[in-house]
Amino acid sequence: MSKDEVIGFIGLGVMGNSMAGHLQNAGYTLNVYNRTKERAQPLIDKGAKWQDSVANLTANSNIIITIVGFPHDVEEVYLGAEGIIANAEPGSLLIDMTTSKPNLAQQIASDAAARNIASVDAPVSGGDLGAKEARLSIMVGANEDAFERAKPILEIMGKNIVLQGPPGSGQHTKMCNQIAIASLMIGVVEAMEYAKQSGLEPFTVLKSIESGAAGSWSLSNIAPRALKEDFTPGFYIKHFIKDMGIAIESATEMNLDLPGLLLAKKLYDKLAELGYENDGTQALFRLYNQGEQTIA
């Protein structure tokens, strides 16, 4: 770690707070900004420096990491006169860890390169637990030089860091991840509801199936939360709906039909309509448990 490296971190939500904390614990000088300052307070109490705007944070940092909510938030943070690219010094490194649009990641990389700024798209998977335990899977789109510079920083927050290709490739890979999870979540919830309706004890069923061919991270980590009716967000439904929308848009551009993804989005849209958009993705269990599912 270079003493000259100062990290600016933007976006201190369910995952960002833990991720920034790992960087702080690793000894980096940390600047922080979030729309709600209260979320930054635990980091400030430990020595992080609060910056009152994106522009000021950028001007006082040479590595800027973002993990915000939606593509329009990414655009707001990176582009425009008060954005990161306009205010970053040449030679800076930008790492966007938001799940966003591949073509937006490509635009950011192009605009940054024009100012001699390196850019990496590095969306993550692993949820709140992965963020807390610094074992996120990080999918990277960047050129080789930018990746090698970013890798030591990413390794503080994750355990599986893979360069997938040029800018935008990290976002495309995250879409693959979200497509797989979308259909998988339906299977997990339906399996647990089947167990209940057949008179089995679901947690006992999990002991048998989670280590077999049906085993998955979601089955082992998400199903127990759902069965306990703990719908605290490790990953918000509203953000999952956003991700599925991006995947559907990208698939449409490739003339690719993804019926499993379309069904999953339909079910999660139903949850949002019922007022559960701020629950975790395991709240899909509500539709089956309450008899509110509309599969057709």
Q: Scan for tokens 């073509």, then name that residue.
A: 103
pLDDT at 295 over 50: no
Candidates 101, 132, 174, 265; catalytic one: 174
Confidence band, pLDDT 50/70/90 cuts, at residue 291: low
End position of a domain, from candidates 114, 139, 166? 166
In a domain? residue 67:
yes
pLDDT at 116: 98
Distance CA 84, CA 79 (A): 7
pLDDT at 289: 77
pLDDT at 296 over 70: no
Shared domain check, 187 and 73: no
Domain around 64: 6-166
Average pLDDT of the residues in 253-269? 96
In a domain? residue 296:
no
What's the CATH number where 16 sits? 3.40.50.720
Q: Are 82 and 33 in contact (CB under 8 A)?
A: no
User: CB-based contacts of 74: which residues, under 8 Å, 6+ apart?
Assistant: 66, 68, 96, 98, 100, 104, 108
Residue 74 CB: number of other CB atoms within 10 A?
A: 26
Going from the C-alpha of 138 to that of each of 32, 168, 235, 244, the distances in angstroms are 21, 13, 16, 18
Shared domain check, 121 and 46: yes
Shared domain check, 160 and 69: yes
The answer to whether 174 is a known catalytic residue is yes
End position of a domain, from candidates 115, 133, 166? 166
Per the structure, the count of domains in the chain is 2
Q: pTM surpassing 0.75?
A: yes
Shared domain check, 194 and 140: no
Q: pLDDT digits over 101-120, tens only?
A: 999 999 999 999 999 999 99
Average pLDDT of the residues in 239-260? 96
In a domain? residue 92:
yes
Residue 75 CB: number of other CB atoms within 10 A?
A: 17
Shared domain check, 158 and 231: no
Average pLDDT score, the chain: 94
* Lowest-confidence segment of 112-116, 152-156, 238-242, 285-289 by average pLDDT: 285-289
Confidence band, pLDDT 50/70/90 cuts, at residue 292: low
End position of a domain, from candidates 166, 198, 226? 166
Q: pLDDT digits over 13-27, tens only?
A: 989 999 999 999 999
In a domain? residue 295:
no
Q: Are 176 and 197 in contact (CB under 8 A)?
A: no
Shared domain check, 109 and 186: no
Shared domain check, 265 and 191: yes
Give CA torsion, residues 147, 148, 154, 160, to 10 deg. 80
Shared domain check, 62 and 95: yes
In a domain? residue 213:
yes
